[in-house]
Chains A and B, each alone.
Chain A
Amino acid sequence: MRFLVVRCDAWPLVAAGCSDEEPAVTVRQNRVVAANAAARAEGVQPGVRRRESQARCPALVVLDEDPANEARLWEPMVAVLEDITPRIEIPAPGVVAFPTRGPSRYFGGDEALAQRVLETLQLKTPQGRRRLNLQVGVADGFFAASLASRVRPTTGSTVMIEPGQSPGWLAPYPVDTLDDVDLAAVLSRLGLKTLGAFAQLDPGDVVGRFGQAGSVAHRLASGLDPRPADTTAIPDDLTVSAEIDPPALRVDQVAFLGKALADELHHRLGGNGMACTQVMIEAESEHGESRRRVWRHEGALSAGALSDRVRWQLDGWLNGDAAHRPTAGISLLRLVPDEVVPAVGRQLGFWGDRSVDAEKVTRAVARVQGVLGAHSVKVPERRGGRGLRQEVVAVSAASVDLAGDRSVDQGDLVGAPWPGRLPSPLPARVLDRPQPVRVLDRHGEEVTINGRGEISATPSTLVFDGGDQAVTAWAGPWLVDDRWWDGTRRVRQGRLQVITEDGRAHLVTRTRQRWWFEATYD
């Protein structure tokens, strides 16, 4: 099937509101996932570690990935394409795909269609931006079209692969483009570095050696659709829907239901030995307005991925611009599997690589997010640093795959020694905002630290707003001079460990001529 794929360059950063001029990246688990043109010009490519990207480009703006926001802002962009074709698929935020057959004939050829798509989308450029960096790829098969939309052409912004030319055009590209890291690694070790070389293998041998996943990859590399056209009809009873009464006005209400529906759909598909690679999510308001979107995924969509897409789509609709917002609450939600494949099953790792526990945790976390909001659940992540709040930070669980192995993606610098780091044991209670405190010597004068890091007198009393405590032991000050090269973000502080008369140990710091109560060794 011939496909047209439109891709917005570095959409995550456009969605985050970064300008094109400043180099910016988004990161997931300490790795760059999207970099804008300015960042790429500095040598920061997706896949680079966070610290390394900052080393290559010190002025880099580093943002955490926010898929929900990306999808929400992408939704109105997609909506304008509905005038061109009804069969829109969203493989990921920032990308739209649709089969060209009908629209292409209507608008007078692929070229004209691509031109029209670009013009339509540019009109919808989000506020505050001159224009979007859009690119179109047209080719036989979704994979080739998607790759074509990623290649930077010398002129214009359209890459057109003539019908029948896809296999030849794909051949010189490296196997990394298959988006299967493990397979790509094996193939390149076998000396099969390009898609062409891989495509020349006998399909039977590929299945024998690499199984179902390898077979799909082989078909993609050969310029075919991932699966032979399947004419078996999808049983009707796989559609799941729920009426919402009273109609829901908030995204999280519908999303919670979406979660239940996704679980049910998954259960039914599983019962039939099938998995879903493309799903249509349809929501209807009380006034009969409806919005449907087809979501596609190369692998099978898991229940979690499905419910994410429900949330994204509804977020885009309910919180989108006023012209397209529904005028009443959502009263119906329906999930229709659009393309199903036999579930070949993902073999679970022998040592519980994606265990049942993790699935349960993901579900429990989703429930809590439903009650308290998406960013109420966080997971600790090691970042490295010498400050108490820098070494390990809490990142929103919404941006992390809890079931995935998060221990491997630690940069070299995370574990590197950080001179000036507080020695172990570390305080178990760190105030989220340091509290002012006074440190007095035995004459009642405030203790100070001079520019050379010398303390003016022996501290004898800590004065809080709740009373004061005599100091029985102390040590320091240890000086930390962080970011001394940066005038605005420089932090210069002296740290003092103290034990007060009740036997407890605390950490106080002196910054900007004041003492701060920082942490307690609890």
Chain B
Amino acid sequence: MAFPLADPGSSLRESSASVAGPSAAPDLADLNVRFGPVTMAGEQRLTVRDGLTSLVPGGGLTRGTSLAINGSPGCGDGATTLALALAAGAAATGSWVAVVGWADLGLAAMQDVGLALDRVVLIDAPPPQQWATVVAALFDAFDVILLAPTHSVGARDSRRLQARSRERGSVMIRLAAGSSTRSRHPLGSRSGQSRSGQWEDGADLTLDIVDLEWSGLGEGHGALDSRRVSVSVSGRRLGAPVTHRVWLPNVDGEIVVIPPEEDMAVEGIAKEDSDGGQDSGLASVVPIRALAASGE
């Protein structure tokens, strides 16, 4: 009995297909070439600064993805500076940057890093129950959203935000406490509560700051002038983690990835300098201390 019930439109469709069919097929293929995306979604990227292109796969922040910077946010690993520097490239090309809930952000440092101030909007930390709503409202307009929640973000909220960021092509840069570091520090332990929230799921791309080293400051002389950090880059669909050395910043105030061969040279100078003692022209270098190794 099912056969006679076939809807009356089917014959009509058949007939129209028989008329348009042969010519429609090549047309569609033609249209696909003409109107299909020129760049695939995965290739649409936000610019990052010249010096940092080798840090992120593809040389840019892939739209619709999330990036986590793990360190101890606010505790001096350089996670904040790195996040600002990554956003600076996009801001320089006209993207807007939203910063959600970083009460302690040093505004002058933002300018120091080279982030265009007139592209930045700062949003007070929303209460946990409204946090996801507020962040979701930002995806329409902001290409880069810097997040440092003070509460733990559940997998459900996180998935919702990820979906929305894919749809809108924004990039979430989120800061979270790394697993290895939990320091005895006023920012880390103030008023009993953890300063930085946790994310229950992973990001598409994860940058772990694994060690850092300042130079320029001596025993009662000099001034902080440059910092080198090691950033371990890992992520979905990427192979084994790759570690880069990054000036954050160097003595000229630039934030750049150090090419491996140059890194060796810098090590050499540092060694020579520390051998030569304080009288050499170069600023003395503070001993390297690998945070990951300290195992706190």
Which A residues are closer than 8 A to B by beta carbons? 352, 355, 357, 360-361, 363-365, 367-368, 371-372, 376-382, 388-389, 391-394, 397, 402, 405-407, 423-432, 435, 437, 455, 458, 464-469, 472-475, 497, 499, 501-506, 517, 519-522
Task: From known contacts A473-B219, A502-B289, A503-B289, infer whether A371 and B104 are also in contact, taking CB-CB under 8 Å.
Answer: no
Interface check B58, CB cutoff 8 A: no
Q: Is the CB of B118 within 8 A of A406?
A: yes
Tell whether B34 is near chain A: CB-to-CB under 8 Å.
no
Given A506-B76, A522-B75, also A392-B184 (CB < 8 A): no
Q: Is the CB of A475 within 8 A of B220?
A: yes
Contact of A426 among B109, B141, B225 (CB under 8 A): B109
Contacts of A368 in B (CB 8 A): 123, 134, 137-138
Chain B: minimal CB distance from A381 (Å): 7
Complex CA distance for A138 and B75, rounded to whole angstroms: 64
* B224 adjacent to chain A (CB < 8 Å): yes
Which chain B positions have C-beta within 8 A of A474? 217, 219-220
Give, as a whole number of angstroms, the nearest-CB distance from B118 to chain A: 5
Query: Is A393 touching B107 in the complex (CB atoms < 8 A)?
Result: yes
Which residue of B81, B212, B213, B219 is within 8 Å of A458 (Cβ)? B219
- The answer to whether the Cβ of B112 comes within 8 Å of any Cβ in the partner chain is yes
Contact status of A466 and B106, CB under 8 A, knowing A360-B140, A379-B121, A521-B76: no
Chain B residues in 8 Å Cβ range of A392:
107-108, 110-111, 117
A364-B138 contact, Cβ under 8 Å, with A425-B249, A464-B184, A521-B227: yes
Residues on the A chain within 8 Å of B103, using CB: 432
Contact call A424/B112, Cβ cutoff below 8 A: yes
Give the residues in chain A near B120, CB-CB below 8 Å.
379-380
Q: Does B173 contact A (CB under 8 A)?
A: no
Interface residues of B in 282-296 (CB under 8 A from A): 286-289, 291, 294
- Give the nearest-CB partner of B175 in chain A: A522
Return B77 CB to nearest CB of chain A, in Å: 7
Is B241 an interface residue when CB atoms closer than 8 A count as contact? no
CB pair A365 B121 closer than 8 Å: yes
Given A392-B117, A473-B217, A475-B221, decide whether A425 and B109 contact each other with a Cβ distance below 8 A.
yes
CB pair B80–A522 under 8 Å, yes or no, is yes
State whether A503 and B291 are in contact (beta carbons under 8 Å apart), knowing that A378-B122, A522-B79 are contacts in the complex.
Answer: yes
Decide yes or no whether B185 CB sits under 8 A from chain A: yes
Instruction: Give A408 Cβ to nearest chain B Cβ, in Å.
Output: 10
Interfacial chain B residues near A499, Cβ < 8 Å: 214, 217, 224, 286
B218 lies within 8 A of A380 (CB): no
Contact with A along B79-109 (1 / 0, CB 8 A): 1110010000000001110100001111111
**Smallest distance from the beta carbon of A134 to chain B beta carbons, Å?**
38
> Are A372 and B130 interface neighbours, CB within 8 A?
yes
